[in-house]
């Protein structure tokens, strides 16, 4: 299967591009790790495969409407 065909099939199956799906998985994992005591933002970034904490903050804010710190304060 070509890359283009894979993307087409993936989008049809999951209603999003593969890169968007991967990003959503990373953000969901980051969200669950925020609720664990002792996990710093850098450690969460390392665990989910995001290079910089500021990138995680930006992505998290876009996806969930709050920063990771705000999320942690609200749910912990």
Q: Say which range, 20-24, 38-42, 61-65, has the weakest mean pLDDT.
A: 38-42
Question: 27 vs 2, 4, 5, 63, 66, CA distance in Å?
Answer: 28, 25, 26, 8, 12
pTM of structure = 0.85
Q: In the chain, what percentage of residues exceed pLDDT 90?
A: 86
pLDDT digits (tens, 9 = 90+) for 27-59: 999 999 998 778 899 999 999 999 999 999 999
Distance CA 32, CA 29 (A): 5
Taking 90 as the threshold, does the pLDDT of residue 13 lie above it?
yes
């Amino acid at each position: 299967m070509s890359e283009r065909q894979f993307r087409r099939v993936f989008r049809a199956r999951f209603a999003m591009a593969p890169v968007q799906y991967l990003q959503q998985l990373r953000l969901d994992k980051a969200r669950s790790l925020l609720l664990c005591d002792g996990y710093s933002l850098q450690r969460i970034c390392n665990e989910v495969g995001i290079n910089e904490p500021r990138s995680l903050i930006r992505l998290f804010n876009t996806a969930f409407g709050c920063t990771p710190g705000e999320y942690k304060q609200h749910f912990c």
